[in-house]
Structure 1
Amino acid sequence: MNRTAASSQAGALEASGARGLHGPACSRLCHRQRPELGLTQALPWQVPALARQQNKWVKVVGGGHSPSDIACTDGFLIHMGKMNRVLQVDTEKKQVTVEAGIHLADLHPQLDKHGLALSNLGAMSDVTAGGIIGTGTHNTGIKHSILATQVVALTLLTADGTILECSESSNAEVFQAVQVRLGCLGVILTITLQCVPQFHLQKTSFPSTLREVHEGFLWLTYVAEYEALDPVILSVNPHEVF
């Protein structure tokens, strides 16, 4: 992919666009070292180039739900929020190509219009497509692999500004390595996900006391080999004392 084409596809990268970063599951906080390092509407390869000039690290942040401090840095913090478009939907192959900053919650309605869906999800959809790959987000149920296994292709911005097209047939080793990269291998720009035909979910809810849940928890995990379309949700009385 040449740089001209990449700039129109990649949209806008926002580097150090926020004053700090913290996740909902941790108390860690990082601040950019100097305000002038912030870049808005930057062409994607300009960020690693400027980082090399100033000998700074580059980190990427998605939805901010990971409890780790991997994204924290005193160098460049790239926020992918403006790279949030659906680029292509291939109904024949049942595949969708998106920019890495799109939230799954925004992707679902777009897939719904084409009669498609992601085969499985984690506990929440307020996460980015790039983030679920980078952090190894797991799914629901025992019959599904992690979300990264739904990726069939992606484009990767490397530290020297090169943009690689990666799949099982092109740059295959990089393609395997970049899944669950933990922020250590470039910036994912676009992702092609394998979808499935749209389906309906059946939810079964029932109330239970904290004592019942506590005493039967291990038994539930033993017998709960639920089908992917038949999850069970427990509503626990928080006032019950055990």
Structure 2
Amino acid sequence: MDKDEEVHVRNWSGTYEYRAQSVEAPTTVEEVQALVARSPRIRALGTRHSFNDLADTDGVLVTTTEIAPEFAIDEERRVVTIGAGTRYAAVATWLTEQGWALHNMGSLPHISVGGAISTGTHGSGDLNGNLSSAVRGLQLVGPDGDLRWVRHGDPDFAGSVVALGLLGVLVRLELAIEPTYLVRQDVYKGLPWATLLADVPAVTSAGYSVSVFTDWVTDPIGQVWVKRRLATADEPVPDELAGAQRDPGNASQILESEDDNTTQQGVAGAWSAHLPHFRIESTPSNGDEIQTEYFVAHADAAAALAAVRELGPDIAPHLLITELRTIAADDLWMSTAYGRDSLAIHFTFKNDTAAVEALCPRIEAALEPFAPRPHWGKVNTVAPEVLASRYPRFADFADLVRRVDPDGKFVGRSTAGLLAAAVSA
């Protein structure tokens, strides 16, 4: 891509324009290796679903999304090997055809696996780890262009999964798989705010994966989407959830159009067709939106939600929707769920940069008592030194980065400040 073209490269929603000198899309791993070896500064770019400058660099951006998908299952180890640029939609479709499954999916199945893994992107479920927790091995192109595997059990593994692109260009992954399973999705309406705040776990544990949608001011809360893992397609489900009633139809338009939403009418089907919010076969249009998201300990969920709700009248005019989800704790050093079961408080804002930049500090101040960790790929105003303090293994991660990439080839705009915070700590 030449200079005249690359200046127009933006993220998925069109709200961020990349400033790299060029954006390259090699079609083989060998081409990635050659590009990395000859580039003084380089960063990996996924399907561009980040809303900030995390992936950006003053040098070269490289995407592996143009490398032909490759799939291989090791049934004995129960892992699938895939290309990092492959989208979850492709992986899920192929695995389902083979009789296998992943433990979880994000709401949008069209994101690249490598990008989601590197930023700690998640699905939902009290007992479900984020998407990164399924990783059993990573193949990276290092600063000299050489390939190396880091696998579960290796000393650096826990620091190498959610690595923000700082350890090299991720080209292949091994993910844990399990036999395919059925999921049914139901929508409940009429959940009172007081009921949710009185017992958050009673709601979030109602299914395998639960999402609560709110605008922070309407009471009762808009909708609760409950995805249940079933043994048989005709397994009964309750018509009531904490005072909310099950709606037999699809939800009203929360995500794009109803045609883009996965089936919500209590019909059981393959995990791949029901765990995401969006249909695999219907790629949503670019969203004219800005996203931000904060993770707090699940134990602090009620207090954190009550604190943010105080800002509801100021948030609502700029909001498209908020989604609340839960994620199980993991041991991945830079994961937003490291060491604590978490509640994710997600905001999809209207495309108004000034309004979002004004609201973020206020939301962050309300959540400050709960040590919120912002999503690595979404808009926030938390200072790098504060971010660093919220990750118990941050100093170890910074040491790992300096060991693997001593010349800082993979350090970008925002990650430079993050690593500098480790030095000054």
TM-score when normalising by structure 1: 0.75
The whole-number CA distance in structure 1 between the counterparts of 2:143 and 2:2 is 15
Of the three residues 134, 145, 148, the one matched with 1:150 is 134
1:200 corresponds to: 182
Matched, 1:189 2:171: yes
Cα displacement string for residues 71-119 of structure 1 (whole angstroms, at most 9, x for unaligned residues)? 1223111011113513312234332100000000111110011111101
Q: How far apart are 1:223 and its partner, in Å?
A: 2.1
Alpha-carbon distance in 2 for matches of 1:149, 1:218: 28
Letter matched to residue 196 of structure 1? E
**Shift in alpha-carbon separation, 1:135–1:237, aligned structure 2, 3 A:** closer
> 1:153-198 CA distances to partner (integer Å, 9 max, x unpaired)?
12111111121121134xx233322211112110111101001110
Residues 1:27 and 2:15 are matched in the alignment:
yes
1:21 Cα deviation after fit = 3.8
Provide the residue aligned with 2:57 in structure 1: 73
Instruction: Please tell me whether the aligned partners of residues 72 and 82 of structure 2 are also in contact (alpha carbons under 8 angstroms).
Output: yes
Give the 3 Å change call, closer, same or farther, for CA 230–163 of structure 1 in structure 2.
Answer: closer
Of 225, 240, 244, 1:233 maps to 225
Higher helix proportion, which one? 2
User: Could you list the per-position Cα deviations for residues 115-152 of structure 1 after superposition, in whole angstroms to 9, with x for gaps in the alignment?
Assistant: 11101122221111111111011231111222212111
Q: Counterparts of 2:62 and 2:142 in 1: how far apart (Å)?
A: 14
Task: Name the SS of the counterpart of 2:155 in structure 1.
Answer: helix
Match 2:202 to one of 195, 205, 223: 223
In structure 2, the residue matched to 1:91 is 75
* 1:217 shift after superposition: 5.2
Q: Say if 2:115 is the partner of 1:123.
A: no
Partners of 2:95 and 2:47 lie apart in 1 by: 20
Task: Give yes or no for contact 2:46–2:63 (8 Å, CA) kept in 1.
Answer: yes
Structure 2 residues not aligned, in runs of 5+? 211-223, 227-250, 255-315, 317-425
Distance in 2 separating the partners of 1:124 and 1:215: 30
Aligned equivalents of 1:39, 1:67: Cα separation in 2: 21
Change (3 A) 1:39 1:222: closer
Q: List alignment gaps of at least 5 residues for structure 1.
A: 1-13
TM-superposition CA deviations, 1:183-222 (whole Å, max 9, x none): 21101111010011101111111345xxx66665535734
Q: Distance in 1 between matches of 2:110 and 2:207?
A: 20
Task: Give the match for residue 156 of structure 2.
Answer: 174
Change (3 A) 1:167 1:206: same
Q: Is the 8 A contact 2:12 2:48 kept in 1?
A: yes
Aligned equivalents of 1:198 and 1:85: distance in 2?
21
Contact conserved, 1:45 with 1:157, CA < 8 A, in 2? yes
Q: Is the 8 A contact 1:84 1:100 kept in 2?
A: no
CA pair 227-18 structure 1, distance change in 2 beyond 3 A: farther
Q: State the match for 1:10 in structure 2.
A: none
Residues 136 and 15 of structure 1: CA distance in aligned 2, closer, same or farther (over 3 Å): farther
Secondary structure of the structure 1 residue equivalent to 2:139? strand
SS of the aligned residue for 1:136 comes to coil
Q: Is the counterpart of residue 141 in structure 1 residue 141 in structure 2?
A: no
Aligned residues: 216
Please report how far the alpha carbon of residue 237 of structure 1 lies from its aligned counterpart in structure 2 after TM superposition. Answer: 8.2
In 1, the alpha carbon distance for the partners of 2:139 and 2:25 equals 21
Distance 1:80 1:15 in 2: 18
- Structure 2 counterpart of 1:65, one-letter code: H
Q: Which amino acid letter does the alignment assign opposite residue 178 of structure 2?
A: V
Give 1:200's aligned amino acid. L
Q: Which deviates more, 85-94 or 110-119? A: 85-94
> Given the superposition, is the C-alpha separation of residues 43 and 67 from structure 1 closer, same or farther in structure 2, using an over 3 Å criterion?
same
CA distance in 2, matches of 1:119, 1:15: 40
Kindly indicate whether the alpha-carbon contact (under 8 Å) linking 2:80 and 2:175 is maintained by their aligned counterparts in 1.
yes
1:43 corresponding residue in structure 2: 31
